[in-house]
């Protein structure tokens, strides 16, 4: 991936932190490193980063609390959770809290690098269509090149996964998207379809683009999934 990335690492294990820092610097990227959760939060809120690598068990402030505060502070950069917690429930908890990917320890640096570069590319313009630069439904418009989302003339800020889901809906207007399909397209993971991580993400997106507007565009199709369409 071309270009210098600025990454924030929040990790209290000095061995792992040094390993990650050395790896990113060797790849030509810059990395700021905080060993405490509260310090990492301050750096994340005040700095400009392409992505954050976040441990869950941290002194000063736990990782999920850091993540919540970053999102509440309007920071929409991709966050990769790096944790020794390996169960599906742990991964779901991290993703529901606003994380964009989850990598368990121990890990290979090459996989961490690829995942970060992929998240940054998705948060930018890497997956946009060359033919289509704008998607719309009713008074909702998305500019793919700038990732600008506007409804009824009001600009709406979305987190990376919320934006990815909205784009998926807009590219499939009128088609019912199952939870399994959304899981595969947005997370690239085969979770148990019974998990409510999709419902949580849809709810978050609805609160952004539907709650304060009429008509409602995202509809639940009971027993099937969700559909985005303009009411007839």
Residues 172-220 pLDDT 10s: 888 889 888 888 888 876 656 567 889 999 999 999 999 999 999 999 9
Confidence of residue 52 (pLDDT cuts 50, 70, 90): very high
Residue 125's alpha-carbon distances to 120, 143, 146, 147, 166, in angstroms, are: 9, 11, 8, 8, 15
Can you list the domains of the chain with their CATH numbers?
6-123 (3.40.50.2300), 134-228 (1.10.10.10)
pLDDT tens string 114-158: 889 888 888 765 444 334 678 899 999 998 878 899 999 999 999
| Position 165 pLDDT exceeds 80 | yes
pLDDT at 4: 82
pTM over 0.85? The answer is no
Instruction: Compute how many other C-beta atoms are within 10 angstroms of the C-beta atom of residue 192.
Output: 11
Cα angle 10-205-124, degrees, rounded to a multiple of 5: 55
């Amino acid at each position: 991936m071309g270009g210098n990335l600025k990454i924030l690492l929040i990790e209290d294990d000095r061995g792992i932190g040094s390993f990650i820092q050395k790896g990113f610097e060797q790849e030509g990227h810059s990395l700021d490193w905080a060993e405490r959760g509260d310090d990492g939060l301050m750096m994340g809120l005040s700095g400009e980063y392409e992505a954050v690598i976040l441990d869950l068990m941290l002194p000063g402030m736990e990782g999920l609390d850091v993540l919540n505060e970053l999102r509440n502070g309007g920071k929409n950069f991709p966050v990769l959770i790096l944790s020794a917690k390996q169960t599906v429930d742990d991964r779901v908890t991290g993703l529901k809290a606003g994380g964009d990917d989850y990598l368990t320890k121990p890990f290979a640096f090459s996989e961490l690098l690829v995942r970060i570069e992929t998240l940054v590319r998705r948060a930018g313009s890497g997956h946009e269509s060359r033919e289509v630069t704008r998607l719309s439904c009713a008074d909702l418009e998305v500019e793919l090149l700038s990732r600008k989302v506007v409804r009824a003339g009001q600009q709406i800020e979305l987190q990376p996964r919320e934006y990815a889901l909205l784009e998926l809906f807009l590219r499939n207007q009128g088609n019912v998207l199952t939870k399994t399909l959304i899981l595969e397209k947005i997370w690239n993971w085969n979770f148990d379809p019974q998990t409510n991580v999709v419902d949580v993400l849809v709810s978050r997106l609805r609160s952004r683009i539907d709650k304060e507007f009429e008509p409602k565009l995202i509809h639940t199709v009971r027993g099937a999934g969700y559909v985005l369409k303009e009411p007839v």
